[in-house]
Amino acid sequence: MSDLIIGHVIRVHGDSVDVQICCEELDIEHSGKLHRVGRIGSYVVVPVTTGEIIGYVTSVETRGELEPRPNPGAPRRIMMTVQLLGMVRNGEFARGVDEYPVLGDPVRLGLDDDFISIFGAFVQTAFAEQEYPRSFSIGRFAIDPDYEVYCLGREFFGKHVAVMGNSGSGKSCTTAKIVHEVLKLPHSQIVMFDMHGEYLSAFADENLNPDVNVTYLSDRNLVLPYWMLRYEEFEQVFLDANNPANINAQRVFLRGAFEKLKRPAAEQLNLVYDCTIDTPVYYSLDQLRIYAENMNNARYVLGSQSYAFSRLPFRQMPPVEQEKLVQTRKMEFNQGNPEGEVAHATFHSRLLGLVNQLETRLNDRRYDFLLRPFAAAKRNPDLGSTFSENMTPGQLSLATSQVIRQLLGRLKTRKNLTIVDLSGLPFDVVDITVAVLTRALFEFNFWSPVEVRQPVLLVYEEAHNYLPRDPKGRKTFARDAVEKVAKEGRKYGVSAMIVTQRPSEISETVLSQCNTMVLMRMNNPDDQDFAARVVTDQFRTLISLLPGLRPGEAFILGDAVLMPMRTLVDPPPRMPRSANMDFFRLWQTGGREGDVEAVIDRWWRQTRSDTNAPKSAPAPQTPASSAASEGSGDKPLIKVTPREDAGAANERQGFIREDPPPTVEHCEAPAAAEEAGAGEADQQVAITHPAPNSATGKLAALAALLSSKKQ
C-alpha cells in the first residue's frame, strides 16, 4: 500500500501524533473512490510492529514561510494532528494504544477494509449468541454512510448518558430515536420528563392518542399526592419568606404539626416508632390549614395549659380534648388583650403568611395535581377509584403505591413509556415535581429485592431548567435527587439520560457521571469548555469539531461504542414537536387565522391540550412485526448498502430542511386540514436512506471476516 502513504510521524505526544504530509497530490483515488488527504474528521492508519494504529484527524496547518504574493504556490509543509483511538491486531480492533509510533513511521489513508475491521470487531460483543439483543441502531457512520452505527445497550444505559447540543441541532429527534429503539424491548421501562410538551406527537397517532404502551401525564391527569413531599420540599412551597421574623415560627409549627397530623396514618400502618416528618404517609392539608389558623390566633388561660376559647364550654374541656379541637375545627378566640389571658408566645400573629400561602395554593387550579389528589384522580382513568375522601389515612397512604405503579407501567395494561408533561405545571413546583418522582422511583428500586428489581431509565429533557450548576442561593431538590441517581443509580437499576442545550449550566456532578456522550452541534464556547471537562482526556480534541456538525449529526463517545463515532442519527418513526417556527414564511403567507377567544379561554383554563396538536400527519410507524425482527439477536452488525453516487451522502443536512434532496419524503397534511385552509401549514419531513441500486463487495468481506471468527 505504498501508494496510500500520505506522510510520516514527526512528533509523538501522549495520545496524539503530528504528521507531516509528504504526498504531492492531496487527492488520491483508490478502488474507484476519491480520498482527500488531510481532511478534518477523516481516519488514518499508522503501521507499527504488532499491528496498526487507527487515528482521527483533528487539525491541519502549514509550517514554515509561505511564498510571497502575487500568485503564491501551494504550501510546502502541511502538518496534521492525529488523535490515536485504538489498534487493529489480527483483523480485530480494540480501543487503546499500547505500542506508540516512533518518529519517521509512515502514515497511510484509512480504507473501507479498515472500517470493516473496526466495525467487525464489534460483532462478537454486540451480537454474541444470547437470547436477547445486546445493541441498538442509532444511525449511520458519517464518514461512510454504508455502515450502520450500533450502541451497546448495557453500556449505553447502565452508566447514564448525556445528549448535548444547541437548539436546532437535533437533540429532540435523537432522544426520540433512542427511546423508540428501547421500546422495541417488551419489558423496557422509561419515564420521560418533558419540559415543553414536545414528545407526545412522537409516541401517539395523528389525533394525539398515545400508543398502547405509552402513558401520558400532564397537569390534567397527573396525580402527585402532597404527602409524598419531604418536609423541606413542603416548606419550599408554603413557607412565607416575606417577613424573616416569622420564618422560624412557621418552621417550628410545621414540624410539630407534621408529627401530630401524620400520627393517625402511622398508627394504622404500625409505623409509630418509625414514622418521621419525611415519611410519605397521609395527612389532611385542610386540617393543617385549620390548625395553622387556630394557632395564629391562639391564647391561653393565664397560669394554665388550657386554651382561652371565646366560648366557655370549650374552655372547660381537658387540654387533650382541646388539642383535638384545635387540630380539627375552626375555633374562636377573644380578640384584643382580655384580662386573664395570654397570647401564644411563639405562634400568635406569626402564622398568617403560612395560612395565606396554603389558601392561595389550594385555590389555584394549577396545583390540583399536587394539593387536591382526590379531584385530580377523577381525571385519571387508572387512578379514579384509588383515592377517595372516605378512605382512612392508612388506606390513603397505601394508595400511593398506585401512583408508583402508573409511573412504572405496572397496571392492567403493561406500559413501557410514561411521559410526564411539565409544560402546564407552575414553574415554581417543576423542581419539586421532578425531585419527588425521581426520588420515589429511586427509592422503589433501592428497597426492591435484587431478584425482582427491574431497571428504569429516567429521561430529563431540557435538564438545565431544573438541574442547575449554580443554585444561586436557592434549594434545588431536583438536582439533589438526580445527583443521587447519577452517583448510585446504576447499582439499583436506575439510569439517567440528560438532554440539554446548555451543558455549562448543568450540575457538573450529574454530567461527570455520564459514561456515554452524544455530542451534537455546539457553538457556545462556555458549553464547549464544559463539555471538554466532562469527557475523557483522550477525546477532548473532538470538542473543537462540534460547531461544524450538521443538524442530526453527532459524535458518540463512551463505552457503548468501540471508538468515537461521527454519526448521522436516523430520524425516529414519528417526530417530536420541536421544530422552529418559520417566522419569515408565516409573515409572508399569513398562515391560518387563530381564534382569539378560544386562545383566551385556554389561557383562563390553563390548558395546553389543544396547542400540542400536530399540523401534519405523522410518518408511518414501523409495524410491530418489523420492530421485533429488527430487535432480534440475529441481526448483523453492519448493514452495507450501495452508495447513491459520489458525494450524495453529503447532501443529508439533518431532520428538517427547506429544500430537501430527492431522498427526502414529505408527509403531507391531512386532507381535512387542507380543506380548513391548512395548505400553508408546515410539512414534517422524514429522511429515508436511498434504496440499493448496485452490488458491493463490503458485505462479502464482512461475511468472510465473521466466518473466520466462527472457525
Tens of pLDDT, residue by residue over 45-88, are 999 998 999 998 888 888 766 656 566 566 568 899 998 888 88
Q: Looking at 26-40, 43-57, 428-442, 510-524, which range is the least confident one?
A: 26-40
What whole-number distance in Å separates Cα of residue 435 and Cα of residue 638? 41
Q: Residue 86 forms beta bridges with which residues? A: 54, 95
293 against 639, higher pLDDT: 293
pLDDT band at 126 (very low <50, low <70, confident <90, very high): low
What whole-number distance in Å separates Cα of residue 232 and Cα of residue 137? 43
Most confident segment among 58-62, 261-265, 589-593:
261-265
Write down the pLDDT at residue 130: 65
Residue 146 DSSP one-character state: T
Q: What digits encode the pLDDT tens for the residues 495-518? A: 999 999 999 899 989 998 999 999
699 has a pLDDT exceeding 70:
no
Q: Give the mean model confidence (pLDDT) for residues 132-152.
A: 85
Q: Give the mean model confidence (pLDDT) for residues 114-132.
A: 65
559 has a pLDDT exceeding 80:
yes
What is the per-residue burial (b if ≥16 Cβ within 10 Å, else e) of 558-595? Answer: bebbbbbbbbbbbbbbbbbbbbeeeeeeeeeeebeeee
128 has a pLDDT exceeding 80:
no
CB contact at 8 A, 110 and 42 = yes
What whole-number distance in Å separates Cα of residue 584 and Cα of residue 591? 11
253 has a pLDDT exceeding 80:
yes
- pTM of the predicted model over 0.75: yes
pLDDT band at 238 (very low <50, low <70, confident <90, very high): very high
What whole-number distance in Å separates Cα of residue 541 and Cα of residue 520? 15
What whole-number distance in Å separates Cα of residue 438 and Cα of residue 481? 6
